[in-house]
Amino acid sequence: MTDAIRPLGGIRVVDLTTNMSGPMATMVLADQGADVVKIEALGGDPIRTVGSGHEGMSAYFANNNRGKRSIAIDLSKPAGRDIVLRLVDGADVFAQNFRPGVIERLGLGPDVVMQANPRIVYASISGFGSTGPLADAPAYDHVVQALSGFVAIQSAGTSEPSMVRHGVIDKATALQLAQAVTAALFRREKTGEGARIDVSMLDAAIAFLWPDGMMDHTVDEPQVVLPPTSRSFRVTPTADGHVVLVTLTGAQWAGLTAAILDDEGDAAMQDTAERMKGGADVMRKVRAALASMRTDEVVKRLRAADVPVAPVLQLDEVATNEQVLASNTVRAFEHAVLGAVHQPRPAPLFDGQAIDPTPAAPRIGEHADEVLREIGCDQSQIDALRADGVIG
Q: Please report, as residue ranges, which positions from 110 to 169 form the binding site for a second copy (by CB under 8 A).
A: 128-129, 131-135, 137-149, 151-156, 158, 160-168
300 forms part of the interface with a second copy (CB under 8 A) = no
d(CA 250, CA 212): 21
Closer to a second copy by CB, 353 or 379: give it: 353
Cα separation, 94 vs 259, whole angstroms: 56
Q: Is 192 an interacting residue with respect to a second copy (CB under 8 A)?
A: no
Supply the DSSP symbol for 363: P
Taking the CA atoms of the chain, what radius of gyration do you get in angstroms? 25
Q: How far is the CB of 221 from a second copy (least distance, A)?
A: 6
Gap between the Cα atoms of 27 and 362, Å rounded? 12
Q: What does residue 352 show for φ and ψ, rounded to 5 degrees?
A: 80, 0
246: DSSP letter: -
Residues 6+ apart with CB under 8 A from 105: none
Is 34 within 8 Å of 11 (Cβ atoms)? yes
> How many of the other CB atoms lie within 10 Å of CB of 43?
11
> Contacting a second copy (CB under 8 A), which of 78, 192, 225, 281?
225
Q: Which is nearer to a second copy, 333 or 384 (CB)?
A: 333
Residue (323 or 380) nearer to a second copy, CB: 323
Residue 94 or 128: the one with the smaller Cβ distance to a second copy is 128
Q: Which stretch binds a second copy (CB under 8 A): 37-45, 67-75, 77-85, 184-192?
A: 184-192
Angle subtended at Cα 371 by Cα 367 and Cα 377, rounded to the nearest 5 degrees: 125
Q: Does 270 bind a second copy (CB under 8 A)?
A: no
For the bound state, the minimum distance from the C-beta of residue 65 to a second copy, rounded and expressed in Å, comes to 10
| Cβ at position 22, least distance to a second copy in Å | 12
Q: Which stretch binds a second copy (CB under 8 A): 68-76, 257-265, 279-287, 333-341?
A: 333-341
Report how far apart, in Å, the C-alpha atoms of 64 and of each of 61, 69, 112, 242, 354 are: 5, 13, 28, 31, 19
Q: Is the Cβ of residue 46 or residue 389 nearer to a second copy in the bound state? A: 46
* DSSP-derived secondary structure for 335-346: ETTTEEEEEEPP
The DSSP letter of residue 270 is: G
Q: Is residue 273 close enough to count as binding a second copy by CB under 8 A?
A: yes
Residues in 4-43 that interact with a second copy by CB under 8 A: 4, 7-8, 20, 24, 28, 32
Subset of residues 50 to 79 that bind a second copy, contact rule: CB under 8 A = 50-55, 58-60, 62-64
200 and 127 Cβ atoms separated by less than 8 Å? yes
- Single out the segment in contact with a second copy by CB under 8 A; choices: 68-76, 197-205, 277-285, 372-380: 197-205
The least distance separating a second copy from the CB of residue 9, rounded to whole angstroms, comes to: 8
Angle (nearest 5°) at CA 267 between 264 and 269: 95
Q: Rule CB under 8 A: say whether 322 interacts with a second copy.
A: yes
